[in-house]
Structure 1
Amino acid sequence: MVRICMLTLFLLAMQFHWSYTHGSSDTVRKAYIVYMGDAPRSKSSATDLHHNLLSSVIKNKNVVSVFPSKMRKLHTTRSWDFLGMPQSLKRNHQTESNIIVGVLDTGLYIDAPSFDDKGFGPPPSKWKGTCQVGGRFTGCNNKVIGARFYTYGAPTPNSNPSPLDDEGHGSHTSSTIAGASIAGASLYGLAKGTARGGVPSARIAMYKVCWADGCSDIDLLAGLDDSISDRVDLISISIGGISDSYFEDPISIGAFHAMKKGILTTCSAGNDGPSLYTVENTAPWILTVGASGMDRQFRTLVKVGNGIQTNGFSINTFSPKRRLCDEGSLDANKVKGKIVLCKEGLIQDYVKPLGVSGAIVSLDQQQDTGFTFIIPAAFVDTNFGDKIDTYVNSTKNPHAVIYKSRAVRNAASPFVASFSSRGPNTLSSTIIKPDITAPGIDILAAYSKLASVTGDLQDNRFDVYNIISGTSMACPHVTASAAYIKTFHPRWSPAAIKSALMTTASELKIKDVEAELAYGAGQIDPVRALDPGLIYDLSKIDYIRFLCNEGYAGTTLRLFTEGKTNCSSIPNIGGHDALNYPSMYLQLTNPNSSISAIFHRTVKNVGLKKAIYKATVKAPANLKVTVVPKELAFSHLNEKKSFKVVIKGPPLKNITNVSASLEWSDTKHRVRSPIFIFLAN
């Protein structure tokens, strides 16, 4: 029987083969063989280990896939109030305390207040994990009940081989999910308030798979192996990378095996927006999360000596002082103690040693995110930047002030973050990705005092909280929301929880015409998702049917199915019937092709015992969307009803897409599915 741990072994073999044949023996000498649930075995010589691993792979009849390990990258308290989850929210505290969330990230700074275990009892009896101590990481507690670290794929020797967080990223994501409620939290006075996770009574298990150089496939898969066997309830991964196949992606592989055990895996979509075709972690059994903005933003007031001023974007913790930026372009004698005006970029490691006291960065592109700098700085738009430039060149003694950032209300929320990666899904032309969005801009959460606020070695600011932006910060919001749902519906499948979150999400305010490629079903609403009315459920066989439809077959499928799979024996393969997904997507490749598709879907009643749902379609005039039947009558809970959606329309000439939606309603529940047709490049 093929197990995930065998693939971990295969990846190790490939990594060691590459390292050995290319003369990099340090990694080989320090590596171990990993088996699910076992402690690391004894060391061996580089040559023996190399030959033993390769021979085991070549001779083992269970080998179905061998591919080289790649390095992947990391993708954070107003946000929970914004999502309708105040501290007074109704909770099943006892059930929530038995929820264990596995986080694959950079480790955890357990001394941060967010990980205080005051009031927590012992770990749930189902917990099978462990706590690895080492270096300055002295152990876990009843909040952080597990911690492991992995260095099999680390490209360079690590100075701190322990679960301790050297980067701050893992502490931030973990506390967003399940951090304890801490009053008076802030970053140097910014975002002051109560910092808390979405499920503050839940437990955390950290799997440190990322280091300063990135996150290797070997370590990711080993962490997924352990998290599944440790009996976590959900998995959160704010990591990503480009893959050419679901079968060469450790997150995809591990998440599939987690799904089979009833564990939902939530992943970040990536930070390469607003470009299309940039979304990552696109397997349909993964809940893929984009980033959105909330009703609080941080703006930095910039005033220039001639009286003009603007609110720039940044997280500026410095108090103001009165006083143009590619490397090598500045005269140290002229810029010392002054604010510099930069066009498009700011190389902090270059300007700080010159004694620059601040920077105003003029940007052409849309900016909706505040970043933290090692000097006072702010982003401004090009128009204001040009005015400053004119002022600087028209006076002998120009001066400006960059003020400390302040929180302001943003009436445009929720909106998609400009950096959030967009679809279409490059691995499948039948699934919209990302699936959903959550707050990912200017999120305050726990941090590590082993990393400066900016992560720059020249930065002398260290805190147990930080404000960060990214889809990495959006992902844990959805993980926590899924955990919250699970406390009320412990028997729901991963697909059921995913469906509940997607069909109750709200549309976002976005200027792009490719809306669904940016936010999928929309912004999460965790409280509404507790009672979605209807759910689109999926099981292992449904995903296997999908993979067969995508062209995977034979021994390749064994990586997921653990046995021989004959695709021809699985019914209803083909077209858009392959997956009972909550969203509906048609991708065209020929601008002269008419729109024609039929989507078959099945919903399960989880709302009122007796209910009649009526279909409502929103679509442009030139797109005909017909739902058959138009009403679904349910007489008991968990009853299933099927329907089909027939779509007809003219070719997409002079446009790239058309958007519609289907909503089922029984007057109490609104179950919305986006419908999107896209003309691919």
Structure 2
Amino acid sequence: MNALYCLLGSTFTRSKTFVGRSRKRDKFASHSPWYLLGKHSDEKAKGAILYSYTRHINGFAAILDDEEAAEIAKHPDVISVFLNKGKKLHTTHSWDFLRLERNGVIPSKSIWKKARFGEDTIIGNLDTGVWPESKSFSDEGFGPIPSKWRGICQHGIKDKVHCNRKLIGARYFNKGYAMYLKNINSTLSPICNSTLFTTRDHDGHGTYTLSLAGGNFVHGANVLGNGNGTAKGGSPKARVAAYKVCWPPVGDEECFDADILAAIDIAISDGVDVLSLSIGNDKPLDFLKEAISIGAFHAVKNGIVVVTSAGNSGPEPGTVWDVSPWTLTVGASTIDRDFVTYVALGNKKHIRGASLSTKALPSQKFYPLIGGADAKAARASALDALNCIPGSLDPKKVKGKILVCVWGQMSELETGQQAALAGAVGMILANDFQSGNQIVPELHVLPASHISFSDGKLVFEYLKSSKSPVAYMTRVKTELGIKPAPIMASFSSRGPNTVVKAILKPDVTAPGVDIIGAYPEAIRPTSLASDTRRASFIVQSGTSISCPHVSGVAGLLKTLHPDWSPAAIKSAIMTTARTRDNNMEPMLNSSMKRATPFAYGAGHIRPNRAMDPGLVYDLTIDDYLNFLCAYGYNQTVIRKFSDKPHKCSKSFTMAKFNYPSIVVPNLGSKPVIVTRKVKNVGTPGAYTAYVKAPAGVSISVNPKILKFNGIGEEKKFKIVMKQNVVVKPKDYTQRRQFLRPPAVLVLQESLAFFEAPSGNLMLLEKFLLKTELVAKEMESKEASASMEIEAVPSGSLALPPKPKFEPLKAHEMSDGRVQFRKVSVPPHRYSPLKKAWMDIYTPVYEQMKIDIRMNLKARKVELKTRQDTPDISNLQKCADFVHAFMLGFDVADAIALLRLDELFVESFEIKDVKTLRGEHLSRAIGRLSGKGGKTKFAIENATKTRIVIADTKIHILGSFTNIKVARDSLCSLILGSPAGKVYSKLRAVTARLEERF
């Protein structure tokens, strides 16, 4: 049984726009609103309809006045009537950070290889269109277009968009936008003639986001010389399609509901597998009055994964806009890469800043330094000059100097432009108090460095104390391995969910800060009208950027597990996410305080873990309809919303909704029972629940052990809680598979933190310690019970960070002398070395800046430093890397020695543990490997090490603690302990190890 949606459009004239969905397809096939009103003029009806959604959503968009809209809303077959509102638009290294590759080498266990790089999955992107000439959409190496594709490549009135075997579809939807534009200002119609009828991207946002989701490999990608590397999307071998629904902004509105619904309806029919939407509202709306929520429901009903951005309204709480349980909502966080420039002051203090400026200071010398207020023009105010407002600076005072401006009144780029126009040779842009310590690299038109508020105070103190202040800025460089990372971006919209308190949003977080993506070369890379530069890749930040990262991962999972439902894919991504950074500490927010699940949801995505989650929380369309029943929609509305009769269950509550996260808004002394059902998608086995409740909270799980005999088998469990709050109330774990509901249950009222700080609100979080779940209070007992909210520390508490100095080059540390290392090549490694030579040579020579060659006469690999070697320690790292390969480790494993300082290789003889000979020695070696290598594999996975058994020698690669655990297990096996006993001991030990990065 079908129903009718109605979308009420522009409010600036008497006529307005609607979208509808009828209960009887034959009777309302034309979607004529005049039929519903008793007005039988077909000509008038056809002239009013903008879109007729007849494929899946069965709705319409039409121009009606207020009275007609009100009359339609009363019709028994109408579910909702709402305005055609506008919405906002919300890489080379990020996939390395997510461990899909390591220093350009793709490990054999990477989801990229397992999922064939997302081969033939179709990703649709609703955005500003596409620039098809971008190398990210090259179809080199692609076969025929999948037969399931039913889309088209829609040409514009004045230009053509050439699709290929990679970019297989492009369409535009403009009627909702055009009607809004026409209604508010008829003089804007010429814009429509030139830009409104094309799928080409004249903004850049759509090309950028689509390249991150499914862009092909592009070698040598960089942002005007910065961040050089290979750009690629999450699913590089996926097919992509662009649906242009966003246009030049009118005020803050650029993507309209009528166009979005039309695009989703067509995309479902076209045959996409994943929909990526980096667009949204400023605040959440009712499910049946929100176009993306309605469209996404029908997409999910047709087996499509829908990924959305959380929004950029953080860090204020309750700002996440997409709260639909059928979508995957993504927050934004940092990666371990920065684009940095260092400021050296005349008082020998060094300050680390951010920039993407393509220019450097004219010469390597100190330049006079002047503050904006000291360079003010005669009739300007000191405050305007301090902010470098146009017309406030005196060029005579600024010329040839480095100008210090405060950021807060204009954009970073506009401030830099004013400094350049005033004649400055460079600019130091210091944050104001409100901007805090988050700094942003931008493509400035002059040498520039963006520094934090606390560092800015150091600069102004120096200006005040020195009669002749001077400074120097280094050229921009790319730094990798930044710690801690990830950190939650301050702009990323936060929970809690203000519509349904029992659903945690956002669902996950992903890379969304300073990410490199494709860009149209025909438009400016900045917002400056005078910018003549052009770039094929740029750096951007936002949840718009994190969203396509997850869309790409969803594409990989769709290729690897085509039988998985959208809910299963979402569950796999959520339950395998992590809440710790690369220091193995809890994730932080931008003010360097501990982040909460309201910021990161389930945590930061881990694509390699997501392909094998063990268990998933699955959901069907009936489950979502039951959710809407529990939310409060009546039986009649639910029946119209569904394509088939659905009866609301009186016993169904939010506590029974099978969501991968668990939130209990009102937990007190009365027990609360939460029910969940998990499906086995892995090997048969038993999963045990580990729970440790915080003080004052009672938690029990029943049953404690779930046994699965085959794939697809489902089991239910219950969690009983009372008093206070709990996070991540359960974790079932089997070997290396972890099923982790994320971390939120809130005491009393989940929105209490909007009230006075003394309100009775407490947030608790649990972490997975290998096989044990531990809850920890986020604040000390003496602290307030109110929720921790991101804020810039007060001036009295804001301590400047420790100055960081650039490391000396290798030749500088060794007095200009070349340093050597030689690694012997055993005879049995000649052939493997020859086969893997380029995989070894590339990271050593290109990444570590170390010369390497094979001396055939001496049978040794020789390494030496060179002038551009950034750190002399690189030489020993490379020697360790090559030596590990000679011991028998794969390149993909040994290369970790180049990246992580805490790793090393330990070797020992079996005979050092126990004197064994002949058959006894052979049996011991057999016990170490196990049948089919399973024993060794289990130890490696449990201890996060790699083990090579070479005759009677054993080599272990890992960290100190992990090597010790692995060595103890191996020694027990050598001494004769049964494998089962060793496994039990290993589980007990690893249960106390913290979860690794």
Q: TM-score under structure 2 normalisation?
A: 0.61
Query: CA distance change for structure 1 residues 535 and 629 in 2, over 3 Å: closer, same or farther?
Result: same
Does the 8 A contact of 1:197 with 1:480 survive in 2? yes
Does the 8 A contact of 1:79 with 1:443 survive in 2? yes
Give 1:654's aligned residue: none
The alpha-carbon deviation at position 523 of structure 1 amounts to 1.2
1:515 partner amino acid: T
Give 1:489's aligned residue: 561
Does the 8 A contact of 1:619 with 1:660 survive in 2? no
Does the 8 A contact of 1:359 with 1:375 survive in 2? no
Give 1:455's aligned residue: 527
Query: CA distance change for structure 1 residues 420 and 388 in 2, over 3 Å: closer, same or farther?
Result: same
Does the 8 A contact of 2:574 with 2:603 survive in 1? yes
After superposition, the C-alpha distances for 1:27-55 in whole angstroms (9 at most, x for unaligned) are xx9997223479xxxxxxx99x8799969
Query: CA distance change for structure 1 residues 81 and 350 in 2, over 3 Å: closer, same or farther?
Result: closer
Matched, 1:400 2:474: no
Query: CA distance change for structure 1 residues 514 and 350 in 2, over 3 Å: closer, same or farther?
Result: closer
The alpha-carbon deviation at position 454 of structure 1 amounts to 2.1
Alignment of 1:65-84 (within 5 A): 65-75=80-90, 77-84=92-99
Mapped to 2, the partners of 1:478 and 1:57 lie a distance apart of 39
Matched, 1:117 2:144: no
Matched, 1:257 2:298: yes
Give 1:574's aligned residue: 653
Alignment of 1:660-679 (within 5 A): 660-678=728-746, 679=750
2:236 partner amino acid: P
Using CA pairs below 8 Å that are at least 6 residues apart, which structure has the higher relative contact order? 1
Query: CA distance change for structure 1 residues 374 and 270 in 2, over 3 Å: closer, same or farther?
Result: farther
Query: CA distance change for structure 1 residues 556 and 371 in 2, over 3 Å: closer, same or farther?
Result: farther
Give 2:610's aligned residue: 529
1:561 partner amino acid: S
Does the 8 A contact of 2:699 with 2:729 survive in 1? no
Query: CA distance change for structure 1 residues 59 and 546 in 2, over 3 Å: closer, same or farther?
Result: closer
More helix by share: 2
Does the 8 A contact of 2:676 with 2:716 survive in 1? yes
Alignment of 1:167-182 (within 5 A): 167-182=203-218
Mapped to 1, the partners of 2:73 and 2:509 lie a distance apart of 43
Matched, 1:106 2:166: no
Give 2:958's aligned residue: none
Q: Name the SS for the 2:629 alignment partner.
A: helix
Does the 8 A contact of 2:276 with 2:307 survive in 1? yes
Mapped to 2, the partners of 1:362 and 1:132 lie a distance apart of 46
* Count of residue pairs brought into register by the alignment: 650
Match of 1:139 among 155, 158, 162: 162
The alpha-carbon deviation at position 21 of structure 1 amounts to 4.8
The alpha-carbon deviation at position 142 of structure 1 amounts to 1.2
Mapped to 1, the partners of 2:636 and 2:346 lie a distance apart of 71
Mapped to 2, the partners of 1:442 and 1:486 lie a distance apart of 27
The alpha-carbon deviation at position 61 of structure 1 amounts to 6.1
Does the 8 A contact of 1:76 with 1:468 survive in 2? no
Does the 8 A contact of 2:339 with 2:354 survive in 1? yes
Match of 1:325 among 364, 372, 387: 387
Query: CA distance change for structure 1 residues 297 and 658 in 2, over 3 Å: closer, same or farther?
Result: farther
Query: CA distance change for structure 1 residues 637 and 658 in 2, over 3 Å: closer, same or farther?
Result: closer
* Larger Rg over CA atoms: 2
After superposition, the C-alpha distances for 1:153-179 in whole angstroms (9 at most, x for unaligned) are 324443323111111111111111111
Query: CA distance change for structure 1 residues 224 and 492 in 2, over 3 Å: closer, same or farther?
Result: same
Give 1:659's aligned residue: 727
- Which runs of 5 or more residues in structure 2 are unaligned? 18-45, 56-61, 182-190, 369-385, 581-586, 753-997
Matched, 1:149 2:172: yes
Give 1:219's aligned residue: 259
After superposition, the C-alpha distances for 1:560-583 in whole angstroms (9 at most, x for unaligned) are 32466543xx25322511x10111
Query: CA distance change for structure 1 residues 340 and 51 in 2, over 3 Å: closer, same or farther?
Result: same
Does the 8 A contact of 1:291 with 1:437 survive in 2? yes
Mapped to 2, the partners of 1:392 and 1:491 lie a distance apart of 65
Mapped to 2, the partners of 1:136 and 1:307 lie a distance apart of 57
1:361 partner amino acid: A
Mapped to 1, the partners of 2:140 and 2:257 lie a distance apart of 36
Mapped to 2, the partners of 1:516 and 1:58 lie a distance apart of 39
Query: CA distance change for structure 1 residues 2 and 398 in 2, over 3 Å: closer, same or farther?
Result: farther
Mapped to 1, the partners of 2:2 and 2:342 lie a distance apart of 59
Q: Name the SS for the 1:673 alignment partner.
A: coil
Does the 8 A contact of 1:346 with 1:361 survive in 2? no
Does the 8 A contact of 2:405 with 2:415 survive in 1? no
Q: Name the SS for the 1:191 alignment partner.
A: strand
Query: CA distance change for structure 1 residues 416 and 59 in 2, over 3 Å: closer, same or farther?
Result: closer
Bigger mean CA deviation after superposition, 14-23 or 473-482? 14-23
Q: Name the SS for the 2:344 alignment partner.
A: strand
Give 1:390's aligned residue: 461
Mapped to 1, the partners of 2:335 and 2:124 lie a distance apart of 26
Percent identical among aligned pairs is 40
2:602 partner amino acid: A
Query: CA distance change for structure 1 residues 397 and 191 in 2, over 3 Å: closer, same or farther?
Result: same
Query: CA distance change for structure 1 residues 676 and 93 in 2, over 3 Å: closer, same or farther?
Result: closer
The alpha-carbon deviation at position 346 of structure 1 amounts to 4.9
Bigger mean CA deviation after superposition, 320-329 or 302-311? 320-329
Matched, 1:557 2:642: no
The alpha-carbon deviation at position 661 of structure 1 amounts to 4.3
Bigger mean CA deviation after superposition, 387-396 or 667-676? 387-396
After superposition, the C-alpha distances for 1:621-662 in whole angstroms (9 at most, x for unaligned) are 332221111000112221111001112224xxxxxx753442
2:454 partner amino acid: N
Match of 2:700 among 626, 633, 636: 626
Query: CA distance change for structure 1 residues 668 and 22 in 2, over 3 Å: closer, same or farther?
Result: closer
Give 1:343's aligned residue: 406
Mapped to 1, the partners of 2:12 and 2:257 lie a distance apart of 14
1:427 partner amino acid: V
Matched, 1:85 2:73: no
Mapped to 1, the partners of 2:647 and 2:398 lie a distance apart of 70
Query: CA distance change for structure 1 residues 64 and 326 in 2, over 3 Å: closer, same or farther?
Result: farther
After superposition, the C-alpha distances for 1:191-221 in whole angstroms (9 at most, x for unaligned) are 1111111211111110111122121111111
Mapped to 2, the partners of 1:225 and 1:93 lie a distance apart of 28
Mapped to 2, the partners of 1:490 and 1:642 lie a distance apart of 25
Mapped to 2, the partners of 1:332 and 1:225 lie a distance apart of 57
Give 1:301's aligned residue: 342
Mapped to 2, the partners of 1:226 and 1:641 lie a distance apart of 37
Alignment of 1:419-458 (within 5 A): 419-458=491-530
Q: Name the SS for the 1:586 alignment partner.
A: coil
Query: CA distance change for structure 1 residues 625 and 211 in 2, over 3 Å: closer, same or farther?
Result: same
Mapped to 2, the partners of 1:222 and 1:177 lie a distance apart of 22
Match of 1:362 among 418, 431, 442: 431
Bigger mean CA deviation after superposition, 59-68 or 98-107? 59-68
The alpha-carbon deviation at position 332 of structure 1 amounts to 4.0
The alpha-carbon deviation at position 137 of structure 1 amounts to 3.8
1:378 partner amino acid: S
After superposition, the C-alpha distances for 1:406-452 in whole angstroms (9 at most, x for unaligned) are 22221212222222111001111101111111111111111112332
Mapped to 1, the partners of 2:635 and 2:446 lie a distance apart of 57
Query: CA distance change for structure 1 residues 259 and 22 in 2, over 3 Å: closer, same or farther?
Result: closer
Give 2:417's aligned residue: 352
Bigger mean CA deviation after superposition, 328-337 or 548-557? 328-337
The alpha-carbon deviation at position 399 of structure 1 amounts to 3.9
Does the 8 A contact of 2:168 with 2:239 survive in 1? yes
1:186 partner amino acid: N
Matched, 1:63 2:78: yes
Bigger mean CA deviation after superposition, 260-269 or 623-632? 623-632
The alpha-carbon deviation at position 387 of structure 1 amounts to 2.2
Query: CA distance change for structure 1 residues 350 and 371 in 2, over 3 Å: closer, same or farther?
Result: closer
